[in-house]
Structure 1
Amino acid sequence: MKLSDFDFDLPERLIATRPARPRSSARLLLAQGDRIDDLVVTDLRKILRPGDRLVLNDTKVIPARLFGLRHRTGEAGATSAQMDVTLLEPRADGTWSALIKPLRKVRDGETIVFSDDLSATVTGRNDGQATLRFSLTGDDFDKALAEVGAMPLPPYIAAKRPADAADKEDYQTYWARRSGAVAAPTASLHFDGPLLDDLAARGVAFTKVTLHVGAGTFLPVKVDDVRDHKMHAEWGEVTPQAAAEINATKAAGGRIIPVGTTALRLIESAAIDGQITPWEGPTDIFITPGFEFQITDGLMTNFHLPKSTLMMLVSALMGVDRIKAIYDHAIAQNYRFFSYGDSSLLLPEAEDQA
């Protein structure tokens, strides 16, 4: 498989920089078997069947984008430099791995000041990343970060506008609970309370799992042969209760439909012989065409970047040629793309086969 197999031309005007309001009013492309229908997210009330189970990622995005000053006193006097910091993940020793721009303007041992309460010392660097030790920990750190941090918007949005107060709500799912992500599971952004209530009343069930989405989700694939690509690892958990719920639905003939590629990657990581088991740890599962899905019967997902690992994942689920036709249709019909864009429901089996 070549990287070019997953490329397409996307008009820049279709890249969404703000979400639909209300959330559930976004458009929804339903691809079921060979059929495509143009709907809206609230139509899930008619599409999903009693006994279906949606798998939801309950990770919570932290305001991981920080702006601070590095102060230095030398022979030339006192100098300062503005620093742009994006937190990547916490480490076992209490430090954080982070991206710092410009990294060349800060030395190991120097401190970056973000507010009167929050600062961080650079303790090391490796492969373009830095390690930071913050002046606060625990709840004090979380409170200070919430005050000074901004949502880490994807690069294709951040290049068009800075994050603002609206993003702290817009870039967070309705059911976000466990802090640790630096990117949102964006298919989940289309759900609100009324839609969840309506789906529950219809007999649709929900299971929550956790996968902390990392900044690596935006890293480009740089190899021509996709088999040579190394996925970034992300921490996830499937609890015993979640596994039992999913297995019970499978046994009863219901469909398992993860909301978002993160939930899909997690449940397939925890699958053994057609069953899902309780699971906790990092996953770097890389799903490409030819992958045999054990748990997933369908997927709700937004429209992805050309030549991305997520394009490979949806191609594995629906078939390369089918996904190309779906994306051609979405572009022709002016669907909005990427994190704040519209969504799709991908069901490989036609209705009479489901």
Structure 2
Amino acid sequence: MILPVIKKCIACFFTLVLSGGVQATVLLNSSYDVSRELFLALNIVFEKQWAQMYPNDILTIKQSHAGSSKQALSILQGLKADVVTYNQVTDVQILHDRGKLIPFNWQERLPNSSSPFYSTMAFLVRKGNPKNIQDWQDLARKDVRLIFANPKTSGNGRYAWLAAWGAANLTNGNNTLQTRKFMTQLLHNVEVFDTGGRGATTTFVSHRIGDVLISFESEVNTIRDRYAQQGYEVIVPATNILAKFPVTWIDKNLTQNHTEKAAKAYLHYLYTPSAQKIMTHFYYRVNNQRLMTINKDRFPYTKFFAIEKMFGSWDRIIKMHFSSGGELDQLLSERHE
């Protein structure tokens, strides 16, 4: 008796879809490696809000995750993502520069240069902090073994590299020779360069390799909470990098996918108090000062330095540090000498 009723309901649904009474919209969000849990929580709320506003439009948000640079390359190679939520500007900008998929002024379309939230770098150490890690300088000690993502493939890794370089530079009074010496020793201490931030977490937590995991503040706090029985501790260094997380819709793909209304509404939703509250629960910092005050115990004070002031444009950063023959390659070669 139940089976015929189910078949009838299914038939009615497809009749409505085919007749234009109900439509199904699917959004694909291409995001960085360690944002899975955040966007899972955000998507559930937004899908419910969309259903209330548009009861005849069934919205499903799908996710694609990897190192942000790999994600951007996938889009250039044909991945039909509707929106991107990355962790560095260059991985969005390349969608204009190499693919003409978005306009040059994409950062002007949403508030805060199209960055609804931000973060910084932090250290995850094992129970009791046995190596007494307190700041960046401790990471260059000969008895410390490090895990962080590969700066060649991961925005997470690039921020870790730039944060360490910038902090060292401020400590030694902009002495480039001393900074390069510090970074060479830091590289010497790296046990594994995973391609993305979540891979680095797996290496540290599941394979128990290394003394310190360097990753986004959001990631290390989430891991500490999830594995509370293991007693991990989080260290936020006193001087740190300001990491803005840019988002945009992919204009060319929206036209092909017929998803413009939903995609734009989704990214605007990320700026709402309800979405920003969810972000703070996952240890992301937001520009809503009221929420930051309420959650001040979750976000230790750190003295931020801006990427542009310390290093210049992202184009200059990529060329100097991460391109073939750049600082990363040079210091890696020195490490093995």
Q: Same fold (TM over 0.5)?
A: no
- TMscore range, shorter length: under 0.3
Which structure shows the bigger proportion of residues in strand conformation? 1
TM-score, normalising length: structure 2: 0.27
Which structure shows the bigger proportion of residues in helix conformation? 2
- Larger relative contact order (CA 8 Å, sep ≥ 6): 1
TM-score, normalising length: structure 1: 0.26
